[in-house]
Amino acid sequence: MKALSLWQPWASLWCSPNKRHETRDWQMHHRGRLLVHATKKFVRDVDDELEDILSSEFGGHWGMELPTGALIGAVDVLDCIPTQKLYRNLDRMTDDDRIDFACGDFSDGRYGFLRGTYWIFREPIPYRGHQTIFDVPNGVVADAFANAREFIGG
């Protein structure tokens, strides 16, 4: 199964209702289920808006409690959209759009990987990540998927 590494707290945010798009400066051609790997790198110094989102979703101690160096869940990648086509009119954004926007870098020249359904593993699976999309043997995550919490969402 394919996987993508993200720094925390963005890895956990992508496996939450808050972050519908993961933004990168490269296009992703993969569609379908994609494992989310939380790297060992953890960014705790975030702006006030993102701090509020993180505290609301994960509690006030999110900076000490989110897992690192592990597979934490999966997302269903639906599309890869140039950021120029996303959130151009800030006045017309819904509350959900504003939250998603605060969770990513939507500057021009980037791409938003749209997530639909997502899964959160009940227990993180320690695993070494990579800088590009990488493969994880299905056997590594089979039990985790059997017990994962599934959320339908766009």
> Phi first, then psi: what are they for 84, rounded to 5°?
-60, -20
* 73 touches 121 (CB < 8 A): yes
Q: Give the pLDDT confidence of 102-134 residue by residue, as tens digits.
A: 999 999 999 999 999 999 999 999 999 999 999
Q: Give the pLDDT confidence of 4-36 residue by residue, as tens digits.
A: 999 999 999 999 999 999 999 999 999 999 999
Give the fold, CATH level 3, of 2-151.
2.30.130
Give the pLDDT confidence score for residue 92 in this predicted structure: 85
Enumerate the domain spans of the chain: 2-151
Going by C-alpha positions, the residue among 40, 42, 62, 41 that lies closest to residue 53 is: 62
Per DSSP, helices labelled H in 104-153 are 138-146
Going by C-alpha positions, the residue among 124, 111, 150 that lies closest to residue 21 is: 111
Cβ contacts of 66 within 8 Å, gap of 6 or more: 8, 9, 11, 12, 38, 42, 58
Please report the beta strands in 25-110, taking only residues with DSSP state E, as ranges in sequence order: 32-42, 70-82
